[in-house]
């Protein structure tokens, strides 16, 4: 196998968001783009005729193994959905279920041009092993909860989160990094945050947590602590430029300013927020105030797919509805959120195609009726492209999908095993 290959014959989305006719020369070993230019070539090529070569998308908040619960419980608000359906069935999950559910989600990511993701779930060893095999890049963590547990159980769960963050950081040749995840500001009590956040800081581990997702979560916290949730989080040292907060739907002006001041990122999950009727996040206000915003699908049980192009479109659409202003969350902003915004949020060194940059790339085929004519490539990326338009996916210089064929996982076998595991799981839970 050659050390280099060229993605040839297409257009390239530059860091400035210009679209140029160029080839991209990739160094497999270094996992880097060597050169972007009209004449660069190599013996081995990936054809990009009629296609746009763009940075791989980064899904900055997901629970990838929840593919097994896709379509299991719909049409309920967050609390009822979790308590009546999701948590009871998750109690029956085995490590093997999590492995196969993760593999299914990773196949879906690769097919949709996603090259990096941030995951929070359980059995992180299984998720890390599947991630290593897939060739993708990820930030992983074990989510811990204290409510409903005795002190010993709560501390053990949080300790597991910290141990896992230490164990898997740098795994898969550095493609895996880690975070500490207190599930949310209401499902982990103050004493455990006070004990474990400083330990994460000492270990240099960033925080990833659900925040201000529903009004039902915000109200009791304000009642109990007398401050807004993100002020409470800041008092506990939970907002730094390493940290990323999923959802942030119900945030006020003070909280948006706090996010901008501390440099903590927000991961916007518009499909999940709509499906669970959680609310509309004030994304344009965040962008205007200088908050870094990334995009996430959340789990497949609240989406119900893992196509980040849907999130780009949803973010742009609902962003306009939020203030009744069609200029808000414009196409370029939404695409930047799914690439460099997400990458910055979760600490991945990706998000732009340039010489010397990481070779995390999606090649999108524009030769389709729903993408004709092409007045503006970026407009199509935001409003018309679907994940199924992705033709090739490259991560860290490795070709993970060529002409729609996933190279690192066996798609047919993964689908079969996942269907069987999901059926057995639901039988056990009922």
Ligand X SMILES: CSC[C@H]1O[C@@H](n2cnc3c(O)ncnc32)[C@H](O)[C@@H]1O
Residues that bind ligand X (CB under 6 A): 63, 78, 82, 86-87, 90, 120-121, 143, 181, 183, 210, 213, 272, 298-299, 302
CB 142 to ligand X: min, Å: 9
Instruction: Look at residue 302 and give the partner it binds from ligand X, Zn ion, none, a contact being a CB closer than 5 to 8 Å depending on partner kind.
Output: ligand X
Residue of closest CB approach to Zn ion: 298
Identity of the residue, 299 or 397, whose beta carbon is nearer to ligand X in the bound complex? 299
Identity of the residue, 23 or 272, whose beta carbon is nearer to Zn ion in the bound complex? 272
Instruction: Look at residue 166 and give the partner it binds from Zn ion, ligand X, none, a contact being a CB closer than 5 to 8 Å depending on partner kind.
Output: none
Q: CA-to-CA distance for 426 and 409, rounded, in angstroms?
A: 25
CB 157 to ligand X: min, Å: 11
119 assigned binding-site residue: no
Q: CA-to-CA distance for 182 and 177, rounded, in angstroms?
A: 17
**Residue 86 exposed, middle or buried by CB count within 10 Å (0-12, 13-18, 19+):** buried
CB 176 to ligand X: min, Å: 17
Question: Per rule CB under 5 A, is residue 90 in the interface with Zn ion?
Answer: no
210 assigned binding-site residue: yes
Instruction: Look at residue 86 and give the partner it binds from ligand X, Zn ion, none, a contact being a CB closer than 5 to 8 Å depending on partner kind.
Output: ligand X
CB 307 to Zn ion: min, Å: 17
Give the contact letters, 286-325, x = binds to Zn ion (CB under 5 A), - = no.
Answer: ------------x---------------------------
Residue of closest CB approach to ligand X: 143
252 assigned binding-site residue: no
195 assigned binding-site residue: no
Query: Rg for the chain (alpha carbons), in Å?
Result: 21
152 assigned binding-site residue: no
What is the b/e burial string over 96-135, where b = at least 16 CB atoms within 10 angstroms of the residue's CB?
Answer: ebbbbbbbbbbbbbbbbbbbbbbbbbbbbbbbbbbbbebb
183 assigned binding-site residue: yes
Q: CA-to-CA distance for 37 and 351, rounded, in angstroms?
A: 19
Instruction: Look at residue 143 and give the partner it binds from Zn ion, ligand X, none, a contact being a CB closer than 5 to 8 Å depending on partner kind.
Output: ligand X
Identity of the residue, 87 or 198, whose beta carbon is nearer to ligand X in the bound complex? 87
CB 343 to Zn ion: min, Å: 19
Peptide bond into 373 cis (omega under 30): yes
CB 403 to ligand X: min, Å: 34
268 assigned binding-site residue: no
Binding residues with Zn ion: total (CB under 5 A): 1
CB 141 to Zn ion: min, Å: 12
Instruction: Look at residue 410 and give the partner it binds from Zn ion, ligand X, none, a contact being a CB closer than 5 to 8 Å depending on partner kind.
Output: none
Identity of the residue, 72 or 366, whose beta carbon is nearer to Zn ion in the bound complex? 72
Identity of the residue, 77 or 290, whose beta carbon is nearer to ligand X in the bound complex? 77
CB 210 to Zn ion: min, Å: 6
CB 10 to ligand X: min, Å: 37
Identity of the residue, 273 or 339, whose beta carbon is nearer to Zn ion in the bound complex? 273
Identity of the residue, 203 or 277, whose beta carbon is nearer to ligand X in the bound complex? 277
Instruction: Look at residue 23 and give the partner it binds from Zn ion, ligand X, none, a contact being a CB closer than 5 to 8 Å depending on partner kind.
Output: none
Identity of the residue, 71 or 226, whose beta carbon is nearer to ligand X in the bound complex? 71
Report the 3 state secondary structure along the chain: CCCEEEEEEEEEECCCCCEEEEEEEEECCCCEEEEEECCCCCCCEEECCCEEEEECEEEEEECHHHHHHCCCCCCCCHHHHHHHHHHHHHCCCCHHHHHHHHHHHHHHHHHCCEEEEEEEECCHHHHHHHHHHHCCEEEEEEEECCCCCCHHHHHHHHHHHHHHHHHHCCCCCCCEEECEEECECCCCCHHHHHHHHHHHHHCCCCEEEEECCCHHHHHHHHHHHCCCHHHHHHHCCCCCCCCEEEECCCCCHHHHHHHHHHCCEEEECHHHHHHCCCCCCCHHHHHHHCCCEEECCCCHHHCCCCCHHHHHHHHHHHHHHHHCCCCCCCHHHHHHHHHHHHHHHHCCCCCCCCCCCECCEEEEECCCHHHCCCCCHHHHHHHCCCHHHEEEEEECCEEEEECCEECCCCHHHHHHHHHHHHHHHHHHHC
Identity of the residue, 87 or 203, whose beta carbon is nearer to ligand X in the bound complex? 87
Binding site for Zn ion (CB under 5 A): 298
Q: Which residues are annotated as a binding site?
A: 61, 63, 90, 183, 210, 213, 298
Q: Which residues are annotated as a binding site for Zn(2+)?
A: 61, 63, 210, 298
Q: Which residues are annotated as a binding site for substrate?
A: 90, 183, 213, 298
């Amino acid at each position: 196998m050659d050390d280099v290959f060229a993605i040839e014959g297409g257009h390239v989305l530059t860091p400035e968001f210009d679209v140029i006719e160029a080839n991209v020369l990739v160094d497999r070993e270094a996992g880097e783009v060597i050169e972007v230019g009209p004449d660069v070539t190599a013996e081995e090529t990936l054809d990009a005729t009629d296609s746009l070569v763009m940075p791989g998308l980064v899904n900055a908040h997901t629970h990838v193994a929840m593919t097994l619960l896709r379509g299991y419980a719909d049409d309920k608000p967050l609390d009822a959905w979790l308590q009546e359906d999701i948590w009871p069935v998750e109690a029956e999950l085995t490590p093997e279920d999590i492995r196969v559910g993760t593999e299914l989600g990773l196949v879906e990511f690769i097919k949709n041009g996603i090259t990096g993701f941030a995951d929070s779930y359980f059995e992180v060893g299984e998720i890390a092993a599947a991630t290593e095999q897939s060739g993708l890049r990820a930030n992983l963590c074990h989510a811990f909860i204290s409510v409903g547990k005795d002190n010993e159980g709560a501390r053990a769960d949080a300790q597991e989160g910290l141990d896992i963050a230490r164990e898997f950081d740098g795994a898969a040749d550095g493609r895996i990094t880690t975070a500490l995840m207190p599930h949310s500001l209401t499902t982990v009590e103050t004493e455990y945050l006070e004990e474990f956040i400083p330990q994460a800081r000492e270990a240099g581990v960033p925080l990833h947590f659900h925040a201000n997702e529903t009004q039902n979560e915000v109200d009791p916290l304000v009642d109990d602590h007398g401050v807004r949730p993100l002020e409470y989080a800041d008092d506990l040292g939970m907002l730094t430029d390493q940290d990323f907060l999923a959802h942030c739907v119900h945030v006020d002006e003070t909280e948006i300013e706090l996010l901008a001041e501390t440099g903590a990122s927000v991961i916007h999950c518009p499909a999940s927020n709509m499906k669970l009727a959680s609310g509309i996040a004030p994304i344009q206000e965040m962008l205007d105030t200088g908050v870094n915003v990334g995009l996430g699908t959340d789990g497949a049980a609240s989406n119900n797919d893992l196509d980040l192009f849907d999130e780009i479109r949803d973010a742009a659409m609902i962003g306009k509805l939020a203030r009744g202003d069609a200029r808000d969350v414009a196409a370029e902003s939404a695409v930047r959120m799914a690439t460099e915004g997400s990458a910055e949020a979760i600490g991945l060194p990706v998000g732009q195609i340039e010489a010397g940059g990481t070779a995390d790339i999606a090649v999108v085929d524009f030769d389709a009726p729903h993408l004709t004519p092409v007045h503006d490539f970026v407009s199509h990326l935001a409003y018309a492209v679907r994940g199924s338009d992705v033709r090739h996916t490259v991560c860290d210089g490795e070709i993970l999908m060529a002409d729609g064929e996933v190279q690192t996982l066996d798609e047919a076998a993964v689908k079969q095993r996942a269907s069987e595991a999901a059926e057995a799981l639901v039988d056990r839970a009922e």
